[in-house]
Amino acid sequence: MAAADWIDPSMTGVVWTRTSREPQIDRPPLDSDAQADLVIVGAGYTGLAAAIRAAAAGLRVIVVEAGIAGAGASGRNGGYAVPHFPGALRPSAVEKLLGPRKGQALNALVSTGPDRVAELVRRYAIDSDFAQRGWVQPAHSQAALAKVRAVHDDWRAFGVKVDWLDAGAVAAETGAAGYLAGWRNASGAVVNPLAHARGLARAAESEGARIVECTRVTGMAQEGPGRVIVTCTGPGGVHRLQAGKVLIATNAYTDALMPGLPRSVVTVRLYHIATTPLPELLRRRILPNGNCFTDLRKSGGFGRYDTAGRLISGGAVFAASNVRAYGEAHARRRMAELFPQLRGQQIGIEDYWEGYCALTDSYLPHVQRLQPDVFAVLGFSTRGVALTQTIGQAMGDMLAGKGRLDDIPLEVVDGLRRIPFQPLKTAVGRQIFPLYQMKDRLGLS
């Protein structure tokens, strides 16, 4: 199935569509051939952040979106802006992977990511319920405790202000039961992710970028220096864009715009649920400070509220006969395990939705230079809310001539980077959720 077939412009079931204070703006599809200095494929966080910077620098920018702005992972995630890498990936390990110069630069970008998102919110008056009240990574097992402690110590050695929390402090911060200890970064934040995507789209247009929706890029070819032909198909017919440069920013929703490109990431299908708003008495006992947390459990251990007091949970989709029933049952069990205060309470589930994220073997995104003037940035591996925007800004600056490609703090690959056994890894990912649950129950994660 093509990635474009996953895109649902209606955003069916996504709670953020009902709670976004940023209005939905309907943008027409491409209806004629056009020219641009920069064509960006994908109106998610990466593409929109790049469009803002490139357009502000004076480039003619056209953003092409197969659905609507934010219809992919950018509008479907849980809205956690986390100042950390996926799981237990440590800053020192990132330096070993990328080298000291790029590794330290990426560490700095990740640790300040929520602050940079806050600056975008302020500058463009984005009404996305952004709230910077801190993020906690707690340890649910002895195995997790060793990893979490090492991560905390690494960030502290890097110079980031982080706080170690004993079991009592974790319980006070989260209201959750069973955690042994953990650490906190006060810069962590939550956001209505769809509202934020809509705000970024509005900001890009205010800087002069053009966004076309419901238009699918079906091919591209470099015909000469500074001349890339992008073929687009939509309700307005088939049209061609002539671009000086192209940025592919589609992450998990990546089609074969160039042969083999989808095999540069492993796509994982995730789900989220939103409960009915919790009574005020329960909210005083569960996440009383309005912060958020994510633990190391592969089967999902995280929590946050939306502005109405709905608790957000979720996990990986398992190919069961009734996917939604399976997901809701797991979410209820996990929430009851985390929050004994919910037991015996009549807490309903209002919303259930699914989406895709893109993983790499290193759990870090990379830049692929597919042609001299065609770039792809993919693979944000569940930490995309802040990092996609900061990397998007850096890519926008570079494409506008305000920086070098080598200054992007990611691995830069000349040509296509195929993940070994990608089809097998993707297929296994759809079936492995029960194994993750078992490992979590046994304290092996």
The shares of helix, strand and coil residues in the chain, as percent rounded to the nearest 5, are: 35, 25, 40
Instruction: Classify domain 12-441 by CATH architecture.
Output: 3-Layer(bba) Sandwich (3.50)
- Residue 442 pLDDT > 70, yes or no? no
Task: Encode pLDDT of 3-56 as tens digits.
Answer: 878 888 999 999 999 999 999 999 999 999 999 999 999 999 999 999 999 999
Mean pLDDT across 339-348: 91
Structure tokens at 195: 């509202």
**pLDDT score recorded for residue 300:** 78
Task: Encode pLDDT of 311-336 as tens digits.
Answer: 998 888 877 678 899 889 888 999 99
Q: Give me the helices (H) in 70-178, please.
A: 73-76, 91-98, 100-111, 113-124, 142-158, 167-174
- Residue 445 pLDDT > 80, yes or no? no
Among 16-30, 124-138, 197-211, 333-347, the minimum mean pLDDT is found in 333-347
Structure tokens at 77: 């995630």
pLDDT band per the 50, 70, 90 thresholds, residue 440: low
Question: What are the sequence ranges of the domains in the chain?
Answer: 12-441
Longest dimension (CA), the chain: 67
Element (H, E) at 399: helix 384-399
pLDDT band per the 50, 70, 90 thresholds, residue 1: low
Q: Report the SS3 class of residue 287.
A: coil
**pLDDT score recorded for residue 394:** 98
Residue of 145, 94, 164 lying closest to 295 (CA atoms) = 145
Residue 226, CA distances (Å) to 220, 233, 290, 372, 437 in order: 13, 23, 49, 8, 50
Task: Encode pLDDT of 53-77 as tens digits.
Answer: 999 999 999 999 999 999 999 999 9
Task: Encode pLDDT of 107-125 as tens digits.
Answer: 999 999 999 999 999 999 9
DSSP calls for 64-92? E-SSSTTTTHHHHS--EE-SS-STT--HH
Task: Encode pLDDT of 360-411 as tens digits.
Answer: 999 999 999 999 999 999 999 999 999 999 999 999 999 999 999 999 999 9
Q: State whether the Cα torsion 222-228-233-236 is positive or negative.
A: negative
